[in-house]
Structure 1
Amino acid sequence: MICALGAAVCFGTASVLQAVAARAAEPGTGSGVDTALLLRALRQWRYLAGLGLDGVGFVLQIVALRHVPIYTVGAALAASLAVTAVVAARLLGVRLRANEWGAVAVVCAGLLMLGLASGEEGSGKGSLALKLGLLGVAGLVLLVGAVSGGLPDRARALVLGLAAGTGFGVVEVAVRLIDGPSLANPALYALLLGGGAAFLLLTSALQRGSVTAATAGLVLGETIGPAAVGVAWLGDRTREGLTWLAVAGFAVAVAGALALARFGELPEQSPRQDPRQSPARGH
């Protein structure tokens, strides 16, 4: 659980740096799968620093997924939005309103409930069909990003955010399905494809359109699906008699994260506006 929360801190801090860098980059093609936009963002130290934090967070996430159920890790990662809000308030001078501080407290309360109710990770290893299905979902994420460019900005941001969250969810499940560095395991390719596609799509979502819509989609995509897979196919359970507390904690944590998705909506920037002065957020 400590590793899951540590990953949330890393991801939440990285999101501030990456969102600002994505907004400062020159506009891309409009496609969700815009590698040129990603390359331009990589030229900025904020994006590189964010990637470094993402790397540390990913290692912590792997450790957490090896010891606690996916639903607990997913809710903790959604709580990275609370970290984003606090970091943006400190580093970017964004002022948090009372209801936003309340949402941070709600997220923390939900995580406390989950920590008390979570059991050990399930013993299920996943069938070949599940691994192949996971690879198919990762490919679908990339396809959705490729065809989303023609959507209006707000709808585009929501679709890209949901697809990016699904890609990160693929990574969460794939970690549980990989026992060793076997090149014959479809879950390994699902992890690489899902994670890579998620980064591309999220960068595009943050560069144009509603950050709120993108973040809400991201939270839903990376929590609900992976949690369901963990319970239905991998044997994740709660402590005896505390299923109700785990369900309530998961719902409270995700609801608080969705409330925080309203925080940090970036205004349209004028040519003279320094993007570092704007609030930002992402995964």
Structure 2
Amino acid sequence: MVCALGAAVCFGTATVLQAVAARAAGTGGGGDAALLLRALAQWRYLAGLALDGLGFLLQIAALRSIPIYAVGAALASSLAVTAVVAARLLRVRLTGSEWSAVAVVCAGLTMLGLASGAEGHRDGSTTLKYVMLATAAVVLLLGPAGGRLPERGRALLLGLGAGFGFGVVEVAVRLIDGLAPSVLLTNPATYALLLGGGAAFLLLTTALQRGSVTTATAGLVIGETIGPALVGVVWLGDRTREGLAWLAVLGFLVAVAGALALARFGEAPAAEG
């Protein structure tokens, strides 16, 4: 859980840096690769990517130790980190209700930490690995489709798509059996992880730059938490501590609800310089 929370701190801080860089990169269509390249020319975006890399390593460590639903809720809490970082670094004013939402997220994660058991030990089937790969391919196609929609619909689709992409990464980590090259190259989950993660970054960059930030970020939180949690419980055997399933469900819902209340912090206002 410490690794999952560390990943949330990295991702939450990176969001502030990447959001500022995405705004400075100009306009672009849904899933526009040129927009990503322009964002990569911004030092803030590169710093955010470095934090994302560290967060990803911590996420892998967490996914190897605790259930996917606990990791997903912890990652959703990165919005609370984003809110606090934005308040400190960019002087974004948090209302009393938003500080309350930060506290709600912390309370939900505490409940999850108390209730979570060890990760499930069911092996992911070959079918599930190919389903993850197919899902990642669909996520990649959502970029051009989302770019043609009106603002609210575009933001929701791009946000959900990015969430599904990151959700594929969460599940794919559990489906990779070993790190030997011969194992990695023959495992469909490896390609699902790479394609899903790349597509998610592409869609998220566009969602941060265009449309309703609150709508996009809400879609992101929903996409990266609920689906992977269900896969972990139904197909991979994730469980809670004996008699504490109700606390895990409550903690998950409370943490996600608190994150959704902070959805506007999926993008911080642009900074000077």
TM-score scaled by length of structure 2: 0.96
Counterpart CA distance in 2 for 1:266 and 1:150 is 25
Runs (4+) of structure 1 moved beyond 2 Å?
262-267
What is residue 17 of structure 1 aligned with on the other side? 17
Counterpart CA distance in 2 for 1:265 and 1:215 is 8
**How many positions carry a matched residue from both structures?**
269
TM-score scaled by length of structure 1: 0.93
The answer for unaligned runs of 5 or more in structure 1 is 268-274, 279-283
What is residue 96 of structure 1 aligned with on the other side? 94
Give the direction of change, closer, same or farther, for the CA distance of 1:263–1:193 in structure 2 (3 Å limit): closer
Alignment match of 2:254 (pick from 252, 255, 270): 252
What is residue 214 of structure 2 aligned with on the other side? 212
What is residue 149 of structure 1 aligned with on the other side? 147
Alignment match of 1:62 (pick from 55, 60, 63): 60
Give the direction of change, closer, same or farther, for the CA distance of 1:191–1:265 in structure 2 (3 Å limit): closer
For 2:245, give the aligned amino acid. T
> Shift in Å at residue 262 of structure 1?
3.5
Alignment match of 2:225 (pick from 223, 226, 229): 223
Alignment match of 2:239 (pick from 226, 237, 240): 237
Give the direction of change, closer, same or farther, for the CA distance of 1:123–1:264 in structure 2 (3 Å limit): closer
Alignment match of 2:36 (pick from 28, 38, 42): 38
Give the direction of change, closer, same or farther, for the CA distance of 1:26–1:57 in structure 2 (3 Å limit): same
Counterpart CA distance in 1 for 2:206 and 2:129 is 28
Q: Secondary structure in 2 aligned to 1:67?
A: coil
Q: Secondary structure in 2 aligned to 1:238?
A: coil
Counterpart CA distance in 1 for 2:243 and 2:118 is 14
Q: Is the 8 A contact 1:165 1:218 kept in 2?
A: yes
Indicate the percent of aligned positions where both proteins have the same amino acid.
77
Q: Is the 8 A contact 1:211 1:266 kept in 2?
A: no
> Shift in Å at residue 174 of structure 1?
0.2
Q: Is the 8 A contact 1:92 1:277 kept in 2?
A: no
**Deviations, residues 247-281 of structure 1 (Å, cap 9, x unaligned):** 000000000000111347778xxxxxxx3159xxx
Q: Is the 8 A contact 1:106 1:253 kept in 2?
A: yes
Q: Secondary structure in 2 aligned to 1:139?
A: helix
What is residue 162 of structure 2 aligned with on the other side? 164
What is residue 186 of structure 1 aligned with on the other side? 188
The answer for unaligned runs of 5 or more in structure 2 is none
Q: Secondary structure in 1 aligned to 2:91?
A: coil
CA RMSD of aligned residues (A): 1.3
For 1:112, give the aligned amino acid. T
Alignment of 1:70-85 (within 5 A): 70-85=68-83
